[in-house]
């Protein structure tokens, strides 16, 4: 059967019968339930114009996410501190370290890389603060990475700056296990953070320190760099086009991360480009996707390729939700938010 815009070219998140009605009601006041205005740019526009688009996107999406974040549970019994470490290129970056107050001894650790297409948003945003503290309250140490973005307020720092910072953060946690009280660590992130999560694993394999990473949990990963092509193997790019964001918007964001596509075939930049050899030997993975996300099928394709390469992997689809809908609407979809957070937590604990 055909769904979404494959079945009806005029379909929107608001009219798609698969959409969770609570999600639609929440998106309608911010005009994200219908057809979105297309950016008045192309990916070959001057870089300055594309960076301006990213800055405007950060302001608009950031405001929506901040509003939704107010519905996230405020967790008690967790203490968050900060550490400043040397990231990529000798630059200083901030880590946000959240730990449950009532647990002693070594805990599993989640190193979290936030979303925003590697180009905008911040680990200091309310949504991510509450997210990390929720995870910590389940019995984990959680470390959020304030990596350099390719655009927006923390940019412009194209690839590999943000990845280098995430790599430095994971290596710092691994090197300070005893002091931090870490038994083992996984890397996890959503959207652009899902890209960075997978890319950290590829970098660790290339550089010979993959044993430091017990597992990888990527949610709605932004990994194909093929959004304007809409290839046959990624039908969700057509089926769910313009659902929460457009393919052109994704391509513009990707174009500031990898200007000129200089790294178009590098798995550490665009993980879907990984060869079978690069996938073999990676640690256990979970790839979680959203049913109504244009990015859905690139995540599922990566999952299937992991399985065929012999990597222990789980694929998970959150029905009825847009891109990261289970994560960004905690007050609207509380049971989905809790289920996804606890799945990350359970995966981290299972690898001990």
Q: How do residues 77-130 score in pLDDT, each as one tens digit?
A: 999 999 999 998 899 999 999 999 999 899 999 999 999 999 999 999 999 999
What percent of the chain lies above the pLDDT cut of 90? 96
In sequence order, what DSSP letters do the residues of 15-71 get, joined into one string? Answer: T-TTS-HHHHHHHGGGT-SSPPPPPS--TTS-HHHHHHHHHHHHHHHHHHHHHHHTT
In the block, residue with structure tokens 């019994």: 77
pLDDT value at 352 more than 90: no
Residue 329 confidence (pLDDT): 96
* Other beta carbons less than 10 A from residue 43's beta carbon: 17
pLDDT digits (tens, 9 = 90+) for 5-60: 999 999 999 999 999 999 999 999 999 999 988 899 999 999 999 999 999 999 99
Q: Is the pLDDT of residue 149 over 90?
A: yes
Per-residue pLDDT of 174-195, as tens digits, reads: 999 999 999 999 999 999 999 9
CB-count exposure of residue 352 (10 Å: 0-12, 13-18, 19+): exposed
Query: Residue 227 and residue 270: Cα distance in Å, rounded?
Result: 12
pLDDT at residue number 344: 98
Q: Is the pLDDT of residue 200 over 90?
A: yes
Tokens standing for 118?
A: 């590697």
The reported pLDDT for the residue numbered 104 is 86
Using an 8 Å Cβ cutoff, are 55 and 151 in contact?
A: yes
- Supply 262's token pair: 């200089």
Predicted pLDDT at 36: 86
Provide the terminal-to-terminal Cα distance of the chain, rounded to the nearest Å.
Answer: 42
Pairing of strands 215-219, 285-290: parallel
Residues contacting residue 308 through CB under 8 Å, at least 6 positions apart: 276
pLDDT of residue 230: 87
DSSP state letter for 150: S
* pLDDT value of residue 332: 97
* Rg (the chain; Cα; Å): 19
Pairing of strands 92-100, 78-86: antiparallel
Class of domain 4-350: alpha beta
Please say if the pLDDT value at position 67 is more than 90.
yes
Q: What angle do CA 260, 266, 268 make, to 5 degrees?
A: 110
Q: CA 338 to CA 143: how far, in whole Å?
A: 19
Share of residues in the chain with pLDDT > 70 (%): 100
Collapsing DSSP states into helix, strand and coil, what is residue 74?
Answer: coil
Give the pLDDT confidence score for residue 1 in this predicted structure.
Answer: 85
Confidence of residue 235 (pLDDT cuts 50, 70, 90): very high
* Average pLDDT of every residue of the chain: 97
């Amino acid at each position: 059967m055909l769904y979404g815009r494959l079945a009806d070219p005029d379909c929107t998140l608001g009219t798609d019968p698969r959409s969770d009605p609570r999600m639609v009601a929440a998106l309608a006041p911010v005009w994200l339930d219908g057809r979105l205005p297309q950016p008045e740019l192309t990916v070959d526009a001057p870089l300055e114009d594309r960076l301006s688009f990213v800055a405007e996107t950060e302001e608009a999406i950031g405001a929506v996410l901040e509003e939704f974040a107010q519905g996230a549970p405020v967790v008690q019994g967790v203490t968050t501190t900060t550490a400043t470490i040397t990231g990529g290129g000798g630059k200083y970056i901030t880590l946000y370290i959240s730990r449950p107050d009532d647990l002693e001894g070594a805990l599993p650790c989640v190193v979290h890389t936030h979303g925003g297409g590697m180009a905008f948003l911040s680990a200091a945003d309310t949504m991510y603060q509450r997210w990390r503290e929720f995870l910590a309250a389940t019995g984990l140490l959680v470390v959020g990475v304030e990596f350099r973005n390719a655009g927006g307020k923390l940019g412009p720092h194209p690839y590999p700056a943000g990845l280098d910072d995430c790599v430095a953060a994971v290596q710092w946690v691994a090197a300070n296990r005893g002091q931090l009280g870490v038994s083992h660590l996984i890397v996890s992130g959503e959207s652009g953070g899902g890209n960075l999560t997978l890319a950290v694993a590829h970098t660790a394999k290339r550089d010979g320190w993959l044993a430091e990473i017990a597992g990888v949990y990527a949610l709605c990963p932004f990994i194909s760099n093929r959004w304007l092509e809409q290839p046959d193997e990624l039908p969700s790019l057509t089926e769910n086009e313009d659902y929460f964001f457009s393919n052109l918007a994704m391509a513009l964001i990707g174009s500031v991360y990898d200007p000129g596509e200089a790294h178009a075939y590098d798995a550490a930049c665009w993980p879907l480009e990984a060869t079978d050899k690069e996938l073999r030997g990676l640690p256990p993975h979970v790839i979680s996707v959203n049913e109504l996300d244009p990015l859905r099928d690139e995540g599922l394709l990566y999952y299937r390729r992991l399985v065929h390469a012999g990597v222990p992997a789980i694929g998970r689809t959150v029905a009825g939700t847009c891109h990261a809908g289970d994560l960004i609407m905690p007050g609207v979809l509380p049971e989905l938010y809790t289920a996804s957070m606890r799945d990350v937590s359970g995966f981290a604990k299972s690898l001990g």
